[in-house]
């Protein structure tokens, strides 16, 4: 930590402004302990009076040009713009699938290597159609499927977007979606088709768990929610469990780097972790493609 911090001489369990008051809450931006009288509600968690004061920056960097989120992203006036765009894209693709039928949806599905039409060519990711790894994550065919996924995105997305910032949140979403697709491609039979945003949604679940732990909130609600969804994953038929686990793992790893990166190396750790996850995903796709095509 750079420089002398006002709370360094005080206990980590007492408010930095009221040293006679015990507290377990910390400012989500500067991490100083704050009591109920000092807590100011934010999009995610609470902030101290100094961090919300105009021109205060993050509390650690007086004079910073713009306030930052917990993960170091820029604080935006619209804290769920990216979430609205993602919701719109998923809904637009769903309407297109209903309007254009199977010919369109077949072009969006994820599968390794198969013939989709009689006397048709061999298609799939192994045949160079890598775009399926991402397009399938925006494709749904059943109303209940898109309804459940979009409900979770609507409920969880804005919170994460506010905590991470737009760019970091979008990276988390897309790399989680890709992680789910990659594990499905690697593990599932090449002729089995899958679709849906579940990989990205489970990535958000993993990120929420990491964020809740980082803010020292009660972990039980998110663990129960995650546990229930994992039970459904392995008990209901026609569920691509690979997408769920792949997205969950990618989301948790990326979120951990986002919210635990040291301030002095924040960008390096965050972007480096995203790049590393992407490299692993690409390498897995290459190896699987080689095994399928020989």
- Domain 81-293 fold is Rhomboid-like fold (1.20.1540)
Instruction: Count the neighbouring beta carbons within 10 Å of the beta carbon of residue 9.
Output: 9
Res. 238 pLDDT band, cuts 50 70 90: confident
Res. 44 pLDDT band, cuts 50 70 90: low
Question: Is pLDDT of 86 > 70?
Answer: yes
Question: Which pLDDT score is estimated for 18?
Answer: 82
Question: Is pLDDT of 203 > 50?
Answer: yes
The answer to whether 141 and 95 are in contact (CB under 8 A) is: no
Interval 157-177: pLDDT, tens:
999 999 999 999 999 999 999
Question: Which pLDDT score is estimated for 196?
Answer: 95
Question: Which pLDDT score is estimated for 59?
Answer: 42
**How many whole angstroms separate alpha carbon 232 and alpha carbon 267?**
37
Q: What is the mean pLDDT of residues 243-253?
A: 97
Interacting residues of 86 by C-beta distance below 8 A, sequence separation 6+: 153, 157, 173
User: How is residue 55 written in tokens?
Assistant: 């021109």
**How many whole angstroms separate alpha carbon 115 and alpha carbon 193?**
11
Active-site residues: which are they? 198, 244
Question: Is pLDDT of 7 > 50?
Answer: no
Q: What is the mean pLDDT of residues 276-283?
A: 98
Q: What is the mean pLDDT of residues 30-53?
A: 74
Question: Is pLDDT of 3 > 60?
Answer: no
Res. 224 pLDDT band, cuts 50 70 90: very high
The candidate with the shortest Cα–Cα distance to 93, out of 134, 135, 123, is 135
Question: Which pLDDT score is estimated for 236?
Answer: 86
Tally the C-alpha atoms within 13 A of residue 51's C-alpha that lie toward its C-beta.
28
**How many whole angstroms separate alpha carbon 170 and alpha carbon 166?**
6
The answer to whether 234 and 175 are in contact (CB under 8 A) is: no
CA 158 to chain centre: 11
Question: Is pLDDT of 9 > 50?
Answer: no
Dihedral Cα 187, 190, 196, 198, nearest 10 deg: 0
Question: Is pLDDT of 101 > 50?
Answer: yes
Backbone phi, psi, residue 193, to 5°: -95, 145
Strand partners for 194: 110
Question: Is pLDDT of 75 > 50?
Answer: yes
Question: Which pLDDT score is estimated for 54?
Answer: 56
User: How is residue 193 written in tokens?
Assistant: 């088709």
The answer to whether 193 and 115 are in contact (CB under 8 A) is: no
Rg of the Cα atoms in the chain = 22
Instruction: Count the neighbouring beta carbons within 10 Å of the beta carbon of residue 132.
Output: 24
- The pLDDT mean for the chain works out to 86
**How many whole angstroms separate alpha carbon 173 and alpha carbon 151?**
15
| Token pair 């972990």: residue | 219
CA 204 to chain centre: 4
Domain range annotation of the chain: 1-6+13-61, 81-293
What is the residue-wise DSSP string for 99-114?
Answer: HH-HHHHHHH-B-SSE
Res. 43 pLDDT band, cuts 50 70 90: low
């Amino acid at each position: 930590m750079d420089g002398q911090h006002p709370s360094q001489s005080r206990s980590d369990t007492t408010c930095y402004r009221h040293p006679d008051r015990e507290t377990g809450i910390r400012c989500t931006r500067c991490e100083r302990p704050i009591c109920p009288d000092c807590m100011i509600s934010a999009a995610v968690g609470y902030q101290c009076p100094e961090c919300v004061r105009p021109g205060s920056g993050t509390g650690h960097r007086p004079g910073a040009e713009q306030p930052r989120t917990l993960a170091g992203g820029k604080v935006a006036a619209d804290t769920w713009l990216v979430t609205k765009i993602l919701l719109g894209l998923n809904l637009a693709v769903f309407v297109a699938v209903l309007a254009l039928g199977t010919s369109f949806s077949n072009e969006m599905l994820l599968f390794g290597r198969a013939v989709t039409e009689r006397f048709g060519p061999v298609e799939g990711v192994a045949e160079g159609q890598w775009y399926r790894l991402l397009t399938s994550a925006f494709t749904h065919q059943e109303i209940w499927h898109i309804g459940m996924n979009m409900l979770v995105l609507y409920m969880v997305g804005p919170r994460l977007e506010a905590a991470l910032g737009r760019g970091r949140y979008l990276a988390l979403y897309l790399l989680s979606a890709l992680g789910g697709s990659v594990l499905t491609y690697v593990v599932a039979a090449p002729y089995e088709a899958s679709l849906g945003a579940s990989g990205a949604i489970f990535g958000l679940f993993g990120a929420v768990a990491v964020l809740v732990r980082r803010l020292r909130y009660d972990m039980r609600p998110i663990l129960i929610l995650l546990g229930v969804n994992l039970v459904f994953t392995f008990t209901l038929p026609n569920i691509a469990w690979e997408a769920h686990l792949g997205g969950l793992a990618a989301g948790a790893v990326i979120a951990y780097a986002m919210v635990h990166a040291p301030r002095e190396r924040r960008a390096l750790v965050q972007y480096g972790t995203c790049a590393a996850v992407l490299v692993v995903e690409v390498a897995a796709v290459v190896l699987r493609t080689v095994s399928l095509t020989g």
